[in-house]
Amino acid sequence: MKTLLIIDVQNDFMPGGSLPVPEGSKIVPVINSIQSKFDLVVATQDWHPQDHISLASNHAGKSTFEEIELYGKPQTLWPDHCVQGTGGAEFHPDLNTTKWEAIFRKGTDKNIDSYSGFYDNGHLKSTGLSGYLKEKGVSQLFLCGLAADICVYFSTHDAFKEGFACFFIEDASQPLDLEGFKELKKKMEYLGIQIISAADIQ
């Protein structure tokens, strides 16, 4: 079953949001144009409690984008974003959600961040996404969304490790750091993850 996974296309990651991805809004019409080509469409939604450990506002004396260590891994301290129940956490208003069968929320545990749609950053807890897709008989997984170098990259990496044939849709995604993402694309290609454009989808 050919499946599209749309990652975190939310207002806070758009121009004017609290953690904007450069030109993030330009992916919305691309994503809308490809959804009909898939048997199954699912999405993830960053959904943080206000006291989430990844938010710089919860660390006295710390600044946004400063790095701390958490569970032995580096943790960037982000501006408040995608806080549960806020407008910034909602999906972009022009995004067509009518074909979506399920939405998997992530980052809900205040004590650990969750870039991937499959696991938290410590791989301590699953979101249930992998089991859901496997039960549906998914073999090919096409991934897109925001930000390409963070949540989309970690989701793609985990999807590959879970045994799915992975396709990254480049023009339906935008990175926060364009230069850094060039190296991540090389890593994806090395693993055998195919980097494609929306026009390549049959």
Task: List the domains of the chain with CATH numbers.
Answer: 2-46+84-200 (3.40.50.850)
By CB atoms closer than 10 A (0-12, 13-18, 19+), residue 173 is: buried
pLDDT at residue 146, rounded to an integer: 97
pLDDT in the model for residue 126: 93
SS (H, E, C) the chain: CEEEEEECCEHHHCCCCCCCCCCHHHHHHHHHHHHHHCCEEEEEEECECCCCCCEHHHCCCCCCCCEEEECCEEEECECCCCECCCHHHCECCCCCCCCEEEEEEECCCCCCCCCCCCECCCCCCECCHHHHHHHCCCCEEEEEEECHHHHHHHHHHHHHHCCCEEEEEEEEEECCCHHHHHHHHHHHHHHCCEEECHHHCC
**What's the token pair of residue 158?**
């985990």
pLDDT at 69: 86
User: What are the residue numbers of the active site?
Assistant: 8, 106, 151
Residues of the chain with pLDDT under 70: none
pLDDT at site 110: 92
| CB hemisphere CA count around 28 (13 angstroms) | 18
Rounded to a whole number of angstroms, the CA Rg of the chain reads 16
Q: Residue 70's pLDDT is what? A: 81
Distance CA 17, CA 1 (A): 35
Whole-prediction pTM = 0.95
